[in-house]
Each structure stands twice: as structure tokens, then as C-alpha cells.
């Protein structure tokens, strides 16, 4: 099936400018601020950065603080506060009066409420992150970690110019998934929790499952291939983007991922994808809310 080429060079002039502003397959949200902040709450570190939205690049280095133990919502909120204050004092930071902040957590998030906690402290279950972070500067939006990474990959990374469904799969402690259709995110695709070969998929095909089983790379590639085939039967995308830390080793296992209709590519934004996607999401939500 042919995909429409919507790369900036092939659009009429007016569209090309809009496309370059927020990525070709964009959601078309207008009046975005130029910069926003993304914060990624991970198992070992909480990382934040200022994101330049027209380019999807970080302005300055990201700032990282180890995740507190236990990683309760209150302890994490304190770290987010510290990160925000550090970033807001930097040159090039967005103004606190016009500030959108996206925060990523590894669970289902609906209306800023965290509804699952597979690989994170149980106290996050039912946590209203909107309330938890209400005192911090800016308009804060919370979203699923893989959704942040997948949105960034679709709009600035490996999926740029792709229409149709771009599905990012992050292979890490768990398996995260993000579905983006024509640049618009359909949030909370928990495909790591589908049943696969009699197990929960992330127990067999995540990066940590490979380590636990001491699985050779070719076998891991074939396992990931069967898992993607399973997904393809149910939600056929036009492209799979493989992310997560293990994507640095994609040369070792992606050659064994075979027989899929969709193109399978490696994530491009690596470590910063989540921060970039969170910032973009928050900026778009703010622009939509403010009209």
C-alpha cells in the first residue's frame, strides 16, 4: 500500500511551514509555545529537559536526579519540583507564565489519574497527578511513558513523514506501546500486557525478559518478531518503531525480526524521546485548552 509522502519538501508552501513547525504528520494544533518542558519518571532516574518545539531538540543538557526509594508519588513530586526549578532558571527557559510541562509515568494515565502500576511503586495506583503536582509552576499534563516516546518518534524521529498508524514499541523492564495515527496519539495502548504464547507479553519479550533468560540475540529477535506479528494481526500499523534502551543493540536482534507486512525501524531519538514527547503533548494540550 502506498503511503502519502508528506515530508515538508512535498507540501504546498503554506503547509510546508506548518509541517516544519511541529513535524510533518502533525496534529495541526495551532499557537504552540516555542518551548516547553518534559520530565520522564523512570525506575532509576527522573530526567527533565527544555524542548524547542519547532525542532524537537533539547535546549541545553537534560537534568537528572536518581529516583527516590521508595518512589512514592510524594517523593517523586519533590524531585519534579527540584528539576523544574533548575530548568526554569536556565537561559532559554520558557516563561513560568506561559509554561507547559509534560510528565511521563510508566502506567495508564487518563485525565492525569494513574490507573495502573505494573513496574512502579503501588502507591501510584489511582494517584491524581493533577492534584499531586498542582502547586508546581506551569500547566502540567501527565501521560504514559511509551506514549511520550512514541509521539516524539512519530513527529520528530523515525516516523516523520509517515501517515497511517505508526506504532512505537519500547522494550525495557516492561513493554510500552504507542499508537499514533496521522500524527495524533491514541493513548494508553497497553500492548505489553496482551497475552502472547500463554504469558503476559512483557514477561517474555521485554529487554529484562531477555536478560533474565540469558537469551541469545538471534532468539530474542525471533521472539520480538513473533510478538510484532501477533500485534500486526490485531492492529496492523504501517510502521513499527522499536525503542527502549535495548534499541542501541538493534543491529543484534532486528535482523531476526522477519515476515512482517509493516516496516520495522529503530527509534531515532533514543534517551530523549520521552522528554520531547511529553513537552510536545503538554504544549498541545495547553494550546487546545486555552483555545
- Decide: is 176 part of the binding site for ligand BGC (CB under 6 A): yes
Residue 119 is a binding residue for ligand BGC (CB under 6 A): yes
Question: Judged by CB under 6 A, which of 39, 202, 247, 267 binds ligand BGC?
Answer: 202
Distances (CA, A) of 14 to 11, 18, 33: 8, 7, 19
Name the nearest CA neighbour of 278 among 180, 90, 144. 144
Cis-peptide, bond into residue 196, ω within 30° of zero: no
CA-based nearest residue to 72, from 110, 39, 46, 35: 46
User: Does 171 contact ligand BGC by CB under 6 A?
Assistant: no
- Any idea how long the chain is? 291
Nearer to ligand BGC, 50 or 209 (CB): 209
Could you give the CA distance from residue 25 to residue 183 in angstroms, rounded to a whole number? 5
Q: Considering only residues 106, 157, 183, 277, which one is a binding residue for ligand BGC as defined by CB under 6 A?
A: 106
Site size toward ligand BGC, by CB under 6 A: 17
* Residue of this chain nearest to ligand BGC (CB atom): 174
Q: Does 144 bind ligand BGC (CB under 6 A)?
A: yes
Q: Does residue 243 interact with ligand BGC by CB under 6 A?
A: no
* Least CB distance to ligand BGC at residue 149 (A): 9
**Residue 102 in contact with ligand BGC, rule: CB under 6 A:** no
Neighbours of 197 (CB within 10 A): 12
Q: Is 107 in the site for ligand BGC (CB under 6 A)?
A: yes
In whole angstroms, give the CA distance from residue 32 to residue 289: 11
According to the binding rule CB under 6 A, does residue 67 interact with ligand BGC?
no
Q: With respect to ligand BGC, which residue has the nearer C-beta, 94 or 281?
A: 281
With CB under 6 A as the contact rule, the residue among 67, 116, 142, 250 that binds ligand BGC is 116
CA gap 121, 132 in Å, rounded: 15
Give the shortest CB-175-to-ligand BGC separation in angstroms: 6
Cβ-based nearer residue to ligand BGC, 3 or 44: 44
From 248, 112, 273, select the one nearest 180 (Cα to Cα).
273
Residue 247 binds ligand BGC (CB under 6 A): no
Sign of the dihedral through C-alpha 259, 263, 266, 272:
negative
Question: Which of 23, 25, 33 lies closest to 4 in space, CA to CA?
Answer: 25
Determine the interface stretch with ligand BGC among 5-13, 115-123, 228-236, 246-254 (rule: CB under 6 A): 115-123
**What is the rounded distance in angstroms from the CA atom of residue 110 to the CA atom of residue 216?**
38
Return the range that interacts with ligand BGC (CB under 6 A); candidates 23-31, 59-67, 141-149, 260-268. Answer: 141-149
Q: Are the C-beta atoms of residues 104 and 278 closer than 8 Å to each other?
A: yes
Q: Which residues bind ligand BGC (CB under 6 A)?
A: 106-108, 116, 118-119, 144-146, 170, 172, 174, 176, 190, 192-193, 202
Amino acid at each position: 500500500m502506498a503511503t502519502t509522502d508528506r515530508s515538508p519538501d512535498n507540501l504546498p508552501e503554506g503547509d510546508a511551514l506548518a509541517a516544519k513547525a511541529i513535524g510533518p504528520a502533525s496534529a495541526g494544533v495551532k499557537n504552540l509555545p516555542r518551548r516547553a518542558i518534559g520530565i520522564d519518571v523512570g525506575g532509576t532516574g527522573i530526567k527533565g529537559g527544555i524542548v524547542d518545539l519547532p525542532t524537537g531538540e533539547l535546549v541545553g543538557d537534560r537534568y537528572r536526579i536518581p529516583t527516590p526509594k521508595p518512589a512514592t508519588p510524594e517523593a517523586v513530586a519533590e524531585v519534579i519540583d527540584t528539576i523544574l526549578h533548575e530548568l526554569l532558571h536556565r537561559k532559554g527557559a520558557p516563561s513560568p507564565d506561559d509554561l507547559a510541562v509534560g510528565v511521563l509515568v510508566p502506567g495508564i494515565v487518563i485525565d492525569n489519574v494513574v490507573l495502573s502500576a505494573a513496574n512502579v511503586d503501588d502507591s501510584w495506583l489511582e494517584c491524581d497527578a493533577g492534584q499531586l503536582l498542582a502547586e508546581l509552576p506551569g500547566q502540567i499534563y501527565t501521560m504514559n511513558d511509551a506514549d511520550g516516546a512514541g509521539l516524539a518518534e512519530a513527529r520528530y524521529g523515525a516516523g516523520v513523514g509517515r501517515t497511517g498508524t505508526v506504532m512505537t514499541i519500547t522494550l525495557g523492564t516492561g513493554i510500552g506501546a504507542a499508537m499514533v495515527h496521522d500524527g495524533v496519539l491514541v493513548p494508553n495502548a497497553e500492548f505489553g500486557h496482551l497475552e502472547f504464547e500463554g504469558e503476559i507479553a512483557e514477561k517474555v519479550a521485554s529487554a529484562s525478559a531477555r536478560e533474565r533468560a540469558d537469551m541469545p540475540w538471534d532468539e530474542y529477535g525471533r521472539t520480538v518478531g513473533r510478538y510484532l506479528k501477533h500485534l500486526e494481526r490485531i492492529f496492523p500499523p504501517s510502521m513499527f518503531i522499536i525503542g527502549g534502551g535495548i534499541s542501541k543493540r538493534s543491529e543484534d536482534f532486528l535482523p531476526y525480526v522477519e515476515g512482517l507486512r509493516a516496516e520495522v525501524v529503530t527509534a531515532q531519538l533514543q534517551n530523549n524521546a520521552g522528554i520531547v514527547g511529553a513537552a510536545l503533548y503538554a504544549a498541545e494540550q495547553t494550546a487546545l485548552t486555552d483555545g
